[in-house]
Amino acid sequence: MRVSVIGGSTVSESVYEQAREVGQLLADRGHEVVCGGRGGVMEAVCRGARENDGQTIAILPGSNRQSANEYVETAIATGMGNARNALVVLNGDAAIAIDGHTGTLSEIGLALDYGRPVAGLDTHRLDGFDQFEHVENPTAAVEYVERAVENQPNAQGRPARE
């Protein structure tokens, strides 16, 4: 499947390493990564995925696709600014949120609005959403989204051909 990984563009070293591990795990289990293409969590998750030969897709806010971080395989420029946040989460079957600030909060909301399950790792505390689960570590994040997508076999976001 394809997993949107969302999070801050400037992060601490420990958050960076967590995001990198999420990328490694996703690629190891055969999942594609889609993200916003910039630094911090976005760079770390692409880096981890590439270390395990995973596919990495970026949907960028700007209009120059060369601005993607160096671990992005397929960069899509939008020139749409924050309106591209919707596309980042629309293009995954589920999302993992790591750290992050206001942009990440918006993407969690958009992901849930599209019916995507979201695992939250060291991110905003949110209560009362069925498909949002706080998790303790990268493995738990990946396992949550795998299980959640498996349990919604007819969801719009479910990949038919992957």
Taking CB under 8 A as the criterion, the residue among 28, 29, 76, 143 binding a second copy is: 76
Helix (H, G, I), strand (E, B) or coil at 107: helix
- Strand ranges in the chain using DSSP code E only, listed in sequence order: 2-7, 32-35, 56-60, 74-77, 94-98, 118-121, 132-135
Q: Is 95 in the site for a second copy (CB under 8 A)?
A: no
Q: How many positions of this chain bind a second copy (CB under 8 A)? A: 46
Task: Determine the Cα angle at 20 with ends 53 and 86, to 5°.
Answer: 90
- Based on CB atoms, which residue is closest to a second copy, 3 or 138? 3
Taking CB under 8 A as the criterion, the residue among 9, 17, 39, 105 binding a second copy is: 105
Sole window of 20-28, 40-48, 112-120, 139-147 interacting with a second copy (rule: CB under 8 A): 112-120
Q: Is 113 in the site for a second copy (CB under 8 A)?
A: yes
Structure tokens at 55: 């596919």
- Distance between CA 25 and CA 69 in Å, rounded? 20
Taking CB under 8 A as the criterion, the residue among 28, 39, 52, 90 binding a second copy is: 90
Sole window of 19-27, 37-45, 118-126, 142-150 interacting with a second copy (rule: CB under 8 A): 118-126
- Based on CB atoms, which residue is closest to a second copy, 52 or 74? 74
Taking CB under 8 A as the criterion, the residue among 9, 51, 109, 133 binding a second copy is: 109
CA distances from 40 to 18, 129, 142, 161 (A): 11, 26, 19, 31
- Distance between CA 23 and CA 32 in Å, rounded? 9
Q: How far is the CB of 71 from a second copy (least distance, A)?
A: 12
CB contact set of 77 (below 8 Å; sequence gap of 6+): 60, 62, 63, 64, 65, 67
- Based on CB atoms, which residue is closest to a second copy, 54 or 138? 54
- Based on CB atoms, which residue is closest to a second copy, 21 or 85? 85
Structure tokens at 51: 């270390």
